[in-house]
Amino acid sequence: MRFLVHGAIHPDAQAAMQRHGHHCHSILELSAETDAPETLSEDPAALVKVLEKKQWYLLTTDGDFITRLYEAHVNYGGLIVQILDDPDVLRDQGPAVDRLFERYPRLTPRRLYTVTASRVKIRQLPGAGQV
């Protein structure tokens, strides 16, 4: 799987994704899709549209982005991994990614996986009931 790194993702988390066979990409790699890729972080609908076109998923720490995605009822057929951690202890992100893939070796589309220090929660993304 290919993931767009969004938010304050520590290099340990990216290394953990690679250990599990996934690829991480930066927002600037979307410059072929849009004139201002850095502004996509402000518009969940536009970002997930580009992600679906590229067949990428989202790895994020931005809770506000997730809230806006749900409030706008944006239909996204991909999956999102959200890491909730203490911003002062970013080294916890690598073990969090490992914990996710130990618990769920195969991630399911149309789901939000929220990884905390002690658990992994799964929610359906908006529009998941519609195929």
Which CATH number is 19's domain given?
Answer: 3.40.50
Residue 97 in this model has a pLDDT that exceeds 90: yes
In a domain, 35, yes or no: yes
In this prediction, residue 85 carries a pLDDT of 78
pLDDT digits (tens, 9 = 90+) for 20-45: 999 999 988 888 887 777 788 888 99
pLDDT digits (tens, 9 = 90+) for 40-60: 888 899 999 999 999 999 999
Residues near 77 by beta carbon (within 8 Å), at least 6 away in sequence:
52, 109, 110, 127
In this prediction, residue 130 carries a pLDDT of 58
Whose CA is closest to 112, among 44, 55, 73, 57? 57
Q: What is the pTM of this model?
A: 0.90
Residue 69 CA to residue 61 CA, distance in Å, equals 14
Q: Which domain holds residue 32?
A: 2-124
Max distance between CA atoms of the chain, in angstroms, equals 40
In this prediction, residue 33 carries a pLDDT of 81
Total number of domains in the chain:
1
In a domain, 46, yes or no: yes
In a domain, 131, yes or no: no
In a domain, 130, yes or no: no
32 conformational bin, left if phi > 0, alpha if psi -120 to 50, beta if neither: alpha
In a domain, 40, yes or no: yes
In a domain, 10, yes or no: yes
Residue 1 in this model has a pLDDT that exceeds 80: yes
The confidence band for 3, taking pLDDT boundaries of 50, 70 and 90, is very high
